[in-house]
Structure 1
Amino acid sequence: MPEIKGLLFDKDGTILDFYKTWVPINRDIAMEAAGGNFALAAELLRAGGHDPETDIIAPGAVLAAAGVEAIAECFAEVLRERAPADLLAIVIRNFRDGGGKYAELIEGAPDTLESLAADGYRIGLATNDTVDGLTASLGRFAGLARRFEFSYGCDSGYGAKPEPGMGLAFAAATGLAPAACAIVGDSMHDLEMGRRAGFGLRVGVLTGSSRRQDLEPHADLVLGSVLELRDAIAAWRPSREAARAG
């Protein structure tokens, strides 16, 4: 297997604090989609996997990992004839505006990205947020967007995760074989994208809505956070080589 040379990161729950960023965004989307009706907004949150009482978001739920079209479809099924004509536009606008208002970093993540780039890794970002939402959320932190050589959103033209398009686009842009790339993310959508794209390493992190038991069946490594990534890859390489030799 080729040496891992490219690292494609998810954004929310991996680089950004998932709950601090997305709980208020989800609530804003649901409230606007419900026309200000609190009870109906709560029903929409529940349908998307976001408990309105506890703000716990189920692993792999629509409001944990899906793109804008899937969220709009989920809400439309609940709202039916009450669905606003511009429901998809409401979701897209709240992704963008919410990212600019609420995005919060996982402390230490930018320093980790800088260290990995200094080690020679090609660094990219793939998110089921929109490109405008990605730009708005990263724009809250000086220099963060520049740490990614390539960035893709669900509307970049490569599809949304778990489809492999963003992963394959990253491999093509870097000139690396997919087997020389790793996906790093907090959800099964991320890891499944890596599998479908033929990535050589799939790394789950526990800083999003997923638990270890959710990620382990799909991941080569499960880490507490991206802060552990540099050492984990260094340890993983010789262990894989020893396993092959044995």
Structure 2
Amino acid sequence: MRGIKGILFDKDGTLVDFQATWFAIGEMMALKAADGDRERATVLMEAAGYDFGAHCFKADSVFAAGTNADIVALWYPDASDAEQAKLVKMFDEVSAEQGSAQAVPLPGSKDALASLHSAGFRLGVATNDSTSGAEKTLLSLGVAQMFDAAYGYDAVANPKPAPDSIHAFSDLTGLKPSEIAMVGDNRHDLEMAKAGGAGLAIAVLSGTGTRESLTPMADVVLDSIADLPAFLAREA
């Protein structure tokens, strides 16, 4: 299996049900940005990637793949750098607290992680959420003890799709990038895998990405991480 010994997971859409977890939080933050104007908040939600017709977040949108800094830049374009920095801090705090408290695990994810951990794989998270949000979510899901590290956008110099999180996980675990698989539901995840020299770029269809958007960049496309232990065992 190409000597895979470690696995980096994206968080939202890979470990956590993106749609069920984030719509209410995104709408709350959009209403705040729109000063309570619901029509304006709807415009902001659509600009960041929510499709109200389909009732889902669009693949590779700012919501699906960006950072809180990206959302702030989109929603507050006239704010000064200092004002945007304060807003990012506020968004990080809200998303860390609310995102972890409302996190809905994807079906079969905890059992899959337990199986992979028991098999000796080193596990990590690489997300464009904040590091605090990632760590609190792992605790909320009851899986934190299985993970060596969580890397948010604020834990590395350059967030996804840059390869910094792969390099950081490699340094921490002593594994070569080629011994690490990256698993995610967006092109950013797969682009990071390729840029970082990961041994496998694994796409999952449990988030906002589609088979059409993910297949060109992926080594394999799975329905969800529930299929990952069997896939790795079969290919070993």
Shift of 1:150: 1.4
Q: Deviations over 1:19-43 (max 9, x none)?
A: 1111122112211111211111111
- 1:67 equivalent to 2:67? Answer yes
- Counterpart of 1:123 in structure 2 is 123
Q: 1:167-186, aligned counterparts within 5 Å?
A: 167-186=166-185
User: 3-state DSSP class of the match of 1:14?
Assistant: coil
User: 3-state DSSP class of the match of 1:139?
Assistant: helix
- 1:3 equivalent to 2:13? Answer no
Supply the distance in 2 between the matched residues of 1:123 and 1:133 (Cα, whole angstroms): 17
- Counterpart of 2:201 in structure 1 is 202
Q: Tell me if the contact between 1:23 and 1:55 (Cα under 8 Å) persists in the aligned partners.
A: no
- 1:34 equivalent to 2:34? Answer yes
Q: Tell me if the contact between 1:180 and 1:199 (Cα under 8 Å) persists in the aligned partners.
A: yes
User: 3-state DSSP class of the match of 2:11?
Assistant: coil
Q: 1:155-166, aligned counterparts within 5 Å?
A: 155-166=154-165
Supply the distance in 1 between the matched residues of 2:38 and 2:216 (Cα, whole angstroms): 38
Q: 1:145-160, aligned counterparts within 5 Å?
A: 145-160=144-159
Two-structure CA RMSD over aligned residues (Å): 2.1
Q: 1:64-103, aligned counterparts within 5 Å?
A: 64-77=64-77, 80=78, 85=83, 86-103=86-103
Q: Deviations over 1:78-105 (max 9, x none)?
A: xx37xx9443234223211221332110
Gaps of 5+ in 1: 238-246
Q: Tell me if the contact between 1:24 and 1:102 (Cα under 8 Å) persists in the aligned partners.
A: no
- Counterpart of 1:191 in structure 2 is 190
Moved more, 122-131 or 132-141: 132-141
- Counterpart of 2:25 in structure 1 is 25
Q: Structure 1 residues 89, 37: closer, same or farther in 2, change over 3 A? A: farther
Supply the distance in 2 between the matched residues of 1:37 and 1:53 (Cα, whole angstroms): 20
Shift of 1:54: 4.2
Q: Deviations over 1:121-142 (max 9, x none)?
A: 1111111111221233223233
The one-letter code matched in structure 1 to 2:220 is L
Larger Rg: 1
Q: Tell me if the contact between 1:28 and 1:94 (Cα under 8 Å) persists in the aligned partners.
A: no
Runs ≥4 in structure 1, deviation > 4 angstroms? Answer: none
Aligned pairs, number: 234
Sequence identity percentage: 37
Supply the distance in 2 between the matched residues of 1:148 and 1:89 (Cα, whole angstroms): 25
Supply the distance in 1 between the matched residues of 2:206 and 2:234 (Cα, whole angstroms): 21
Gaps of 5+ in 2: none
